[in-house]
Chains A and B, each alone.
Chain A
């Protein structure tokens, strides 16, 4: 079972496909769950504390807004942990505020910097035929990961 980072990190379709074919999806929900299930100081809604932008310094420089660094403290460790990644390129839904948009750019840059990591670049389907191609591509990609990372 491989750990597959998904982008958009909140994608329903990718999260389902990865788990349907026996792998672990690394997305925003996993990071958020870890945060809200850990005792700390109360900092609603996402339990992001002033410590998180400091952790984000590993991935973004100090002059980068703390919104980006805070988000990177969630995604950065997951990108390092991932065995593979799937990116949907035309994912307008992930575009939010400027912090989200810049974090998305940095996440995709970091994923592409990891040359040794298998990466699937796709786009959302707009017809039934594209739907078949979309599902087939993901299945074939995930099938290729089997055995490589099994303990």
Chain B
């Protein structure tokens, strides 16, 4: 048996699963939104949502934007492997890969979790616009401008 050297790919990147379980948004809609705002990130559409791969900061920014679409029904999770990795992809192995059974179980509970998140959002106090004190010179002619006018008049 020969031992080969392992040269990793996608070094320094992160891959995230984005699961969507929303009555209003489909994975396709979310994928289109992701394509619009992803700058050089790899976005793969799946039946349950998306897989996003790229620089950690960029992926984080994209996920913040995607969550705005339907915050309570979008859940995000880390993935160790990049998409389409032959060691893990079901295209090579056949059948669902082992991790999907866990996801399938938790996806069945998402309706309760999403309900909890919605209720939590409802309880959140809405921001009240703060009345600030009016500044003394607000709406008045600035002193510098007055001096400028006087000096122009004198000239």
Report whether B6 and A29 are in contact in the complex, using a CB–CB cutoff of 8 Å: no
Q: Which residues of A contact B112 (CB under 8 A)?
A: 125-128, 130-131, 134
| A130 and chain B: residue at smallest CB distance | B112
Q: Is B78 an interface residue (CB 8 A)?
A: yes
Report whether B4 and A135 are in contact in the complex, using a CB–CB cutoff of 8 Å: no
Chain A positions 1 through 30: 1 when the CB is less than 8 Å from some CB of chain B, otherwise 0: 000000010111101100110000101111
For residue A77, give the distance in angstroms from its CB to the closest CB of chain B: 15
Inter-chain CA distance A37–B81, complex, in Å, is 9
The smallest C-beta distance from B30 to any residue of chain A, in angstroms, reads 15
B95 contact set on A, CB distance < 8 A:
none
Q: Hey, what's the 0/1 contact readout for A88-128 against B, CB within 8 Å counting as 1?
A: 00001110100000000000000000000000000011111
Contacts of A15 in B (CB 8 A): 76-78
Q: How far is the CB of A12 from chain B (nearest CB, A)?
A: 5
Query: Are A16 and B75 closer than 8 Å at their CB atoms?
Result: yes
CB interface residues, A 7-65, toward B, < 8 Å: 8, 10-13, 15-16, 19-20, 25, 27-33, 35-47
On chain B, the number of residues with a Cβ less than 8 Å from chain A's Cβ atoms is 43
Please give me the residue from chain B that is nearest to A127 by CB atom: B112
A50 to B141, CA, bound (A): 78
> Interface size bucket, A side?
35 or more
Query: Across the interface, which residues of B come within 8 angstroms of A40, CB to CB?
Result: 6
Q: A32 to B85, alpha carbons, bound, how many Å?
A: 13
Q: Are B115 and A12 interface neighbours, CB within 8 A?
A: no
Determine which residue in B98, B109, B116 has the highest number of CB atoms from chain A within 10 A of its CB, and name it.
B116
Q: Which of A13, A32, A35 contacts B109 (CB 8 A)?
A: A13
Contacts of A39 in B (CB 8 A): 5-8
From residue B131, how far is it (CB to closest CB) to chain A in Å? 29
Q: Interface of A with B (CB < 8 Å)?
A: 8, 10-13, 15-16, 19-20, 25, 27-33, 35-47, 92-94, 96, 124-128, 130-136, 139
A-B contact pairs, 22 of them (CB 8 A): A12-B19, A13-B106, A15-B78, A19-B76, A27-B78, A28-B80, A33-B14, A33-B79, A33-B81, A37-B12, A39-B7, A42-B3, A92-B105, A125-B109, A125-B112, A127-B112, A128-B115, A131-B111, A132-B120, A134-B112, A135-B117, A135-B119
